[in-house]
Amino acid sequence: MANIFGAEKGQADQRGWRVFRDQHGRGWGATVENSSVHPVGPLTPQFEAPLIPPNHFLKLFPGDQQNIEVDYDAWLKLLDAEQEEWETSMWEHAMLLPGDTNELVKNPPPALVRAAGRQPGVYKDVVLAARNGNRWVLFNEGEMPAKAAQYFVVETKAVEKIPDEDPFAEAGTQVVTVPAEDNEPDPFADDGEGLAFMPTMHGPGWWTLSNGERVRGKKADAYAAQRELEAGAPAGV
């Protein structure tokens, strides 16, 4: 008979399950090495929220193996890069089509949208709201903010009875908020509200203001510069 008391521990004995907490207090479960308490598999959210951070933006707190943090700086940096890449692609493909390039970029026809690809689906405003502690984005608490409606759609899905989990469960419906995937509007559509003049795009990343001055950046940056100009402040370059 084997000496089970002297046997080496198997992999299953060396690993366990731990729930980590992010900076918002939300739980993330993962299989960990018992010796290091370091995750050896993906972190899975133990909560429901409209926006779930991808695993590659989750990291352990330095010197703290009990908690993790969402790396919003890295996430926002990637979104900026994706947005800039998309805008450049739109401009380059628009130059290959007949017609006024500026007008094509401003109101892209289906052919241009297909050629340039879809605009990044997770928008900067939503990630900023999460970083700033918006309770709806983080915990799905309360009503959906009006501005968030352009990024998400609300679906009602049937929920089947699961006897193993609750023998008294009944079939019903569940309201689920998911990121919008089709017919996504311009993520900066509201940024130009109230402006007397809408900046026009002239080349990838360059925008012309009402006074003829050109500024470099994204559409939101151009709108901000135009607001300063209309308010009487000098626009930044």
Res 21: pLDDT: 92
- In angstroms, the CA 115 to CA 89 distance is 8
- pTM beyond 0.85: no
Nearest in space to 218 (alpha carbons), one of 84, 78, 74, 102: 84
What's the mean pLDDT in 33-39?
80
Compute the average pLDDT of residues 198-217.
72
Given a cut of 70, is residue 176 above it in pLDDT? no
Q: What is the pLDDT of residue 177?
A: 55
- Tell me what the mean pLDDT of segment 82-101 comes to: 87
- What does pLDDT average to over the chain? 75
**pLDDT at residue 237 tops 50:** no
d(CA 172, CA 169): 9
pLDDT in tens, 100-149: 988 888 888 888 888 887 776 557 888 999 999 999 999 998 888 888 87
Task: Kindly state the average pLDDT of the residues 73-87.
Answer: 88
Helices (H), the chain: 11-14, 72-94, 101-106, 110-116, 124-131, 135-139, 219-230
What is the structure's pLDDT at 157? Answer: 52
- pLDDT surpassing 90 at residue 73: yes
* pLDDT range class, residue 234, cuts 50, 70, 90: low
* DSSP letter string, 71-110: -HHHHHHHHHHHHHHHHHHHHHHHTTSSS-HHHHHHS--H
Res. 28: pLDDT tops 90:
yes
Instruction: Find all residues with CB under 8 Å of 110, minimum gap 6, and list them.
Output: none
Write the CB contacts of 10 (distance below 8 Å, at least 6 apart in sequence). none
Which pLDDT does position 57 carry in this prediction?
94
Residue 163 pLDDT exceeds 50: no
47's enclosing H/E stretch is: none
Q: What is the pLDDT of residue 194?
A: 74
Q: Cβ(195)–Cβ(166) under 8 Å? A: no
Query: What are the tokens at 192?
Result: 């130009």
pLDDT at 2 (0 to 100): 46
